[in-house]
Chain A
Amino acid sequence: MNSSVFRSFCGIIVLCVGVLAQEAVAPPFLLPPTQDAVIPAVRQARATKFNLRVPYSMIDPGPGGAPPPVRTVTWAVQPELPHEESDAIVVGTVEKIQPFLNSNGKGLYSEFTLMVTTIVKAMHFPIVSVGNPITILREGGVARLPTGRIVAHYVHGDNTPLNGQQYLIFLKYDSTVEAFYYSKFWLIQEGVLKAAYPDDLGRARQGQSEVDAKPLSQVLARLEMKVAEQ
């Protein structure tokens, strides 16, 4: 066999394996209660927190096969680095995204496990420490039901962190669910911050961002100074 033909053949095989491997990454199953490390009362509080006040299910077809309802979020104006409003500010990597069903069964919420690598602000939250994970909750998600059917609950206009990616993230704590929510995050790639949240993407596209494309170290120094002044 000609060597260039052989190389092309190998290339196609590698490509096919890659495509198949990607397809094999299916959404996670809903977590069975027996495998849930969270105590039932807290789990119930989390599932109730994300109940939707809408007549139809976000994850099931409506009457007559109608598509699931469309949920769209609009953002209030936020500073690029909302340090004053945040209970905690950390740098970390998303290690796991686990979807759960809301308690009224109309939608999903997701639990993000973030491994903390740097703390900028968390003085009142001893649960936040370097080298340990924290739990962050967010409406929406994609899950596989025990039957294998994949269900999704999307929130149009919202961006969520991705598995394996590193972020600078601004958090609010909710003691009723013993977890954090995020008010915004910045993607970190090769030590540089990239706009990832809708309002920041808008600023970045319009050339009005003071944070986008800046080195993480520079922004962290600025943030630490502002937090110290608070």
Chain B
Amino acid sequence: MLLQLKKMLCYCFSGVLIAIPSILTAQTCTLYSNQPPIFYSSGNVVAFPKYGSRTFFTGSWVTMNSEGVQYVYCDGEPDPSHCAFGGDYWFSGAHTSAMDSAFSAWTSAKTANGSNLPFKRVYSTTYGYEPNSIAVLRMSVSAMPGAAGIATSGWGSVDYNNDGVHDAWRIVDAVIEIRVDLSGSTLTSVMAHEIGHVMGLDDCPSCDSTTVMTYTYPAPTAPSSCDNAKVATVF
């Protein structure tokens, strides 16, 4: 009995010894051990609400995500007349194609991450800041040299179960500013990272390139299984 106990302790100790170096050097986004953290702000999860939730907007409840999160390319100031066609002006076809790839990748992950949220590009010159939407703007903030993208997310009161009672603050619209001199896979990976923020993921400087939330380049252009598993915890 005593011998068995000693053996058991020995195995445990060996296990700890083996685990310590891997914990200390853990850079790989491994499921359930080193995924990007959940993004909280003011005590709330920074993520769009799940499919079918309602949000209170200008005096009435709006059902979220019935057609997915809509995104539009704009050229600058939050003026509806600058969206859609303005975006075509400021972002070339190559730009929009690279950014569309990131939205498509997140749409493809909607089942794996449990959000059931597709992203759909819209062309609307009457676009405003509405629930369930993302405006993509050309970044002009030269005051922050080195920035590749900035996401700004607005909160909405969300009712999960349609009982007319506030359940949580969740992100219901977002503005993503993107540096116009980025291109190709870098642009796609930056956009995939920004979308990761509005899906509830925080930055992960200590992660390697197995998550879109890494600071390591080249960064992935699509959410990984680690990203999806983490997003699933907030939907």
Contact = CB atoms under 8 A, between A and B. Distances in A.
B147 A71 contact: no
A56 B146 contact: no
Contacts of A137: 143
Interface stretch (B9-17, B94-102, B107-115, B154-162): B154-162
A3 interface: no
Query: Which secondary structure dominates chain A's binding surface?
Result: mixed
A174 B27 contact: no
B154 A56 contact: yes
A112 interface: no
A49 interface: yes
B90 interface: no
A139 B150 CA distance: 12
Size class of the B contact interface (CB-based, 8 Å):
35 or more
B156 A139 contact: no
A21 interface: no
Interface stretch (B64-72, B119-127, B190-198): B190-198
A85 B145 CA distance: 10
A66 B169 CA distance: 7
B157 A64 contact: yes
A67 B143 contact: no
B145 A72 contact: no
Given A55-B154, A71-B152, A64 B78 contact: no
B61 interface: no
B220 interface: no
Contacts of A156: 39, 41, 203
A8 interface: no
Most A-side CB within 10 Å, residue of B41, B142, B186 = B41
Contacts of A201: 205
Given A54-B175, A70-B46, A198 B203 contact: yes
B194 to A, nearest CB: 6
Nearest to B137: A53
B44 A76 contact: no
B171 to A, nearest CB: 8
Interface of A: 49-50, 52-56, 62, 64, 66-78, 82, 85, 109, 137-139, 155-158, 172, 174, 181-184, 198-199, 201-202, 205-206
Which 8 residue pairs across A and B have the least CB separation, nearest first? A202-B205, A67-B42, A76-B148, A202-B215, A183-B145, A66-B155, A55-B129, A74-B149
